[in-house]
Copies of this chain bind each other. A is one copy, B any other.
Amino acid sequence: MNEFSLAMQVRDYECDMQGIVNNAIYQHYLEHARHKFLETRGLSFAELTRAGIIIVVARAEIDYLKSLRAGDDFQVSVVASRPSRVRLVFSQVINRAADGQAVLRAKIITTAVNERGRPWFPPALEVLLGDA
């Protein structure tokens, strides 16, 4: 399955003066879940970076539906797809554990760049797409 879900919990320092999780922090949650997804396929983001395989986010579309608060438990799901030759897309949803409601939906469009900054699709990333 090219799908993955990670359980997380809001930490107090991630909340802002409105008492809710700051918008930028959700991108940390999304990134963290993607990197944990990579790990389940035997890939380490840090090792890929050291090996010169630089994966960058080209576009993020994020719908903020509800707000998470201090202490909230939530799930971050990840589904990978490859809509074009050099694009690797992660469809992600954050669901609040207490009521199952979707808090955020995101489409994160990434691409790998080689050492000259040109986009390519490293074969190592194919494991993200197939059934495990």
Give me the interface of A with B, judged by CB distance under 8 Å: 11-13, 15-19, 22-25, 27-28, 31-32, 35, 39, 44-46, 49, 54, 56-64, 67, 69-71
Contact = CB atoms under 8 A, between A and B. Distances in A.
A60 B23 contact: yes
A120 to B, nearest CB: 17
A72 to B, nearest CB: 11
A60 B57 CA distance: 14
How many copies, total? 4
A82 to B, nearest CB: 19
A22 B28 CA distance: 9
A19 to B, nearest CB: 5
Contact of A32 (B13, B25, B45): B13
